[in-house]
Structure 1
Amino acid sequence: MTKLFRLAAECLQEAGWTYEPSLSAADGLPSALQTAPETAIHWVSSFSLLSSPDEAVWFLSRDDYSKETESAFAWNELEQLSAQAAATNDEAVAVSRFWKRHLPILLAVRSGYEYLAVRDDGAVVHGTGPEFEEAVVVFPHLEDLLRHISARPAGRDHFVDRLLFNTISNPEAWS
């Protein structure tokens, strides 16, 4: 698995992404990661920084899930936004239920808020604001996303490619 992590990170670096190796020792696992799938824990632990050239898209690292992070965006920022927007108790419960099953691993602010998350069954989902909980499965497993990145897609016609490999801020130019 480590080889796949390294290869995916290298492909992103070749596309201009900033990569910094993991600095975390084997400290305790942040509480946000306690119930995360094992592959997701290993992925977010394999780097300390992995962000697009325009810094509008980034993978969350293990350190981002700790309470001491200095990031402008909390790892659960989108959940917090949804909770604040919930108009009823039922909506608040639905938001909480959704995010208990989904761990954000990538955040994007290029043209509105977007994310990739690993669901508790290992599937990778994509969601956008303002209805973050209306997510769709984009890869059956995190490994499939990493293999997709590692394949250096030439056509870049998958919308995930737009997130990862397109650093322009004009959405009309993405097609």
Structure 2
Amino acid sequence: MSWISLRARLRSLGPELLGFAAAGICAYAVDLGLFIWLRGPVGLDPLTAKSLSFVAGCSVAYAGNALGTYRRKAAGVSRLRQYAVFFAVNVAGALVQLLCIAVSHYGLGLTSQRADTVSGAGVGMALATVLRFWGTRTLVFRVSGRTAGTSSDRTAGREATEATWTG
């Protein structure tokens, strides 16, 4: 692949990357805000608070991607199945972040709070975001090549790539 074709491919991904990032930023804000609220005024323990905020953040990210970034992509499966796969991709991303912290903290002996932050929120978040982007576009919101354009993929005269807001 030449540099020119690589640049063209990356340029064509621009709107998709921007939409994915916008949904992710909103999801991150919900996750962080809810976590702080559940830990503070509500008084939940950290694992319960983080679990609830993670589910809320995943839900916001899914809604943003399903109704925004990938609204024109129909995978031929139910929204519930899409959400389940989306949630699994996000859990995999969270595991990547935890793995980065574990390697840094326990494997390399970098035990400071700064090292944990860099490995988890820096390196881990970057790797997890790449995984989430790949998983979201290839596993959750894809159009099957073997069935695209067949009569079973048409809904009220629209091609399968034109999903509605309500699914």
TM-score, shorter chain, exceeding 0.5: no
Q: Which has the higher helix share?
A: 2
TM-score between the two structures when normalised by the length of structure 2: 0.28
TM-score between the two structures when normalised by the length of structure 1: 0.28
Largest Rg, 1 or 2: 2
Q: Which has the higher strand share?
A: 1
